[in-house]
Amino acid sequence: MSPLIFAILLIIFAALLCLLLSFNERSAGLVVADFSSGQLHLPALIALAGTILGLLAIVPSCAIALFRDTLPGCGEFMRAWFLLPIICVGILSALHSIAYLDKSFSPLRRGVYWFFFNMTVAMMLLVTQAEHPVIFLLAWEGMGLFSFALIMFDYKQKENMHAAWIYFLACQAGGALLMLMFFAGAFPLFVFICGMLGFGLKAGAPILHIWLPGSYQAAPAPASVLLSAGMINLGFLGILRWLVLPDPALAPLLGYSLLICGMPGALLGIFFAMPQKNLKRLLAYSSVENMGLIACGLGFGFLSIHWQRADIALLSFAAAGLHLLGHSLLKGNLFLLTDHVYRASGELNLDKLGGMQKILPGTGYAYTLSAMAISGLPPGNIFMAEILLYVAAARGIASDKLSVVAPSLALFLTLAFCGVLAMTVFSKASAAIFLGEPRSKAARRNLAVPPLMKRCGIAFMVLLLIFLCGSPFLAPRLMHAFVGQYESLYSADLGAELYASALDARRLLGLVLSCVLLVGMLFILLWRVRRKYLPYSTAVPPRRFTWDCGFAQPTARMQYTGTAFVQPLVELFAPLLRPVKKILLPRGLFPKKASYELSCHDGSEQIFWRPLVNFTVRLAIFSHRLQSGHLHLYVLMLISALLALFIWGFAM
């Protein structure tokens, strides 16, 4: 029995045991361990132990697959690469869940939560390993259903049920498309379209991402982590495992379609992230952006195979791989940190938060650093991926053929624009939560955040740092794996190309890391000079009110909110975002109340899904007329159908 099968069985067994024990009131209330933050009950302990032991059991085999130096193990490598975020995020979000499920939840609800949590993790593990289509489909379906239950965990709110319902429909549609893909083998193009749509639904492709913001917002924080950091990646695993290999002639088609899905996906994701007020929704749209960029990397890689430019292909595949891992960890971390904010204030609306840095200093540092990293700024995991993709695109731009230059140029500009918009989005988020003065009573509340949650945040930061420093070594490994996996797609021998590109990537990432170190050292040097050699610098600077023009003392109501911060950009892109404004102008000589509210509904919902649903409903109402309930009409329909068949039969 391989460690992975063992792990899956262990996790499922723990889940079932936990559910069984939760039904019994005595065992469900049995407290095993007492934290300052809450208690650990017996069923939860079993489920937690199952998850953590199971995931830890995979670590050695995963590490072996990542570091083995022979090419034939490449399928193993790819699986290990997708397992890596699931392991990291699974363990940390399980730990976070202990603190999340405090005394306000009944024992049965806790048991149900752990059951679905464990089952989702187990199904995600099974999806990465399934070799046979039927097992894969079953695991895929199970993953959708169990995570659906997690999303509607907080079932008393109407919006949550609505979001869960959309998620359920999306999962079912995806499952149906994948079934078509597996069992319509005779038509390669049809298979391809079904597969792209089916996997794209999971990976949050543009327009198909409709389920994503709502369900991330509805799910409990640890479950959103599981979804955003583990599950949506699996859409790409599906594309890479089940869609690429059947027909090498499809490589350019796959490349173009991934690139054409990826670029608008990235742009739309970050555009719609900009005006969001709910923190979790903002993160969800940023996931759409990052998935778009990963799709761009993969698509550009497949296109470069078609162009016979192995160096570009290898760089972009390595970029996509690093981006995937970096995004998972960063997004997981951001979701957990968001939960700290929610714990401390009970508020997720950006325009009502503020000044939390003083209440949650550790969370503030971690959130700001992660936010900077996820928007692609230098000492971050995403920057390591993006610089590889930039170099790949620049090599494409420098080539002679127009067919190469045009997609490369589009990718290059998309990357740049997404990057700078992401900086806007995340500087808005971290400034609106942590900096300035509290904008509402909620932000002043200062409720206790369980220490266990804080430790999960620290663990995430350590993991991020490890993978950041490891990226110069991981990028060449990724290149090896891709070459091994898709060797049949190339016509020429790749040994020399692989060696050169691996060396390039390692050198580039190493140099970037040393530049970051240099900045750090320069900063420390400047800091020492500033603190030691300037007059007055040793004295503690006095603290006064923020300077403001014409007011004795500024209040929190005068400062910029998150919405105000992005309002000029939202107005600039109003034709795309279609913001809805509610303005209450100040009236009279002594105005009492004035307000400005700006919100953006999802574009794809307005433009595509709602008209589609309306059309379907109208069609259904129209066709409903046929079902009149009169027997003779049904008989008439039967006879006319039979007649039509007869005529068709004879005419043939």
- Contacts to other proteins from residues 399-418, by CB under 8 A: 402, 405, 409, 412-413, 415-417
Residue 123: which residues within 8 A CB-CB, separation 6 or more?
139, 140, 142, 143, 146
**Integer Cα distance of 539 and 336 in angstroms:** 38
Torsion from C-alpha of 46, 52, 57, 62, nearest 10 degrees: 150
Kindly calculate the radius of gyration of the chain based on its CA atoms and give it in whole angstroms.
27
Residue 506 Cβ, how far from other proteins at the closest point, in Å? 12
312-351 footprint of other proteins as x/- string (CB under 8 A) = ----------------------------------------
For the segment 548-577, give every residue that binds other proteins (CB under 8 A): 548-549, 554, 556, 558-560, 564-569, 572
Residue 415 Cβ, how far from other proteins at the closest point, in Å? 8
Residue 308 Cβ, how far from other proteins at the closest point, in Å? 18
Residue 519 Cβ, how far from other proteins at the closest point, in Å? 5
For the segment 220-249, give every residue that binds other proteins (CB under 8 A): none
For the segment 360-379, give every residue that binds other proteins (CB under 8 A): 364-365, 368, 372, 375-378
Tokens of 90: 């699974």
Near other proteins by CB under 8 A: residue from 5, 420, 465, 641 = 420
Size of the site for other proteins (CB under 8 A): 82
Check binding of 534 to other proteins (CB under 8 A): yes
Q: What are phi and psi of 174, to 5 degrees?
A: -60, -45
Near other proteins by CB under 8 A: residue from 542, 575, 588, 649 = 542
Residue 130: which residues within 8 A CB-CB, separation 6 or more?
136, 139
102-141 footprint of other proteins as x/- string (CB under 8 A) = ----------------------------------------
Q: Which is nearer to other proteins, 54 or 562 (CB)?
A: 562
Residue 141 Cβ, how far from other proteins at the closest point, in Å? 42
> If 0-12 CB within 10 Å is exposed, 13-18 middle and 19+ buried, where does residue 100 land?
buried
Residue 436 Cβ, how far from other proteins at the closest point, in Å? 4
Q: Which is nearer to other proteins, 119 or 479 (CB)?
A: 479
Tokens of 497: 């190309």
Q: Which residue has the tokens 């379907």?
A: 616
Contact 311, 363 (CB under 8 A): no
Check binding of 358 to other proteins (CB under 8 A): yes
Near other proteins by CB under 8 A: residue from 72, 495, 535, 588 = 535
Helix (H), strand (E), coil (C) string for 137-196: HHHHHHHHHHHHHHHCCCCCCHHHHHHHHHHHHHHHHHHHHHHHHHHCCCCHHHHHHHHH
Residue 271 Cβ, how far from other proteins at the closest point, in Å? 11
Contact 557, 596 (CB under 8 A): no
Tokens of 106: 């009944």
Check binding of 444 to other proteins (CB under 8 A): no
For 384, the 3-state DSSP assignment is: helix
* Window contacting other proteins (CB under 8 A); options: 28-36, 60-68, 319-327, 430-438: 430-438
**Integer Cα distance of 565 and 491 in angstroms:** 52
Check binding of 507 to other proteins (CB under 8 A): yes
Check binding of 31 to other proteins (CB under 8 A): no
Near other proteins by CB under 8 A: residue from 522, 612, 643, 645 = 522
For 278, the 3-state DSSP assignment is: strand
Residue 343 Cβ, how far from other proteins at the closest point, in Å? 20
Q: Which residue has the tokens 């070594």?
A: 473
Residue 478 Cβ, how far from other proteins at the closest point, in Å? 17
* Window contacting other proteins (CB under 8 A); options: 173-181, 210-218, 424-432, 623-631: 424-432
Residue 432 Cβ, how far from other proteins at the closest point, in Å? 8
Can you list the pairs that 270-273 forms with residues at least 24 positions away whose Cβ atoms lie under 8 Å? 270/418, 270/421, 270/422, 270/425, 271/421, 271/573, 271/576, 271/577, 272/577, 272/600, 272/602, 272/603, 273/422, 273/425
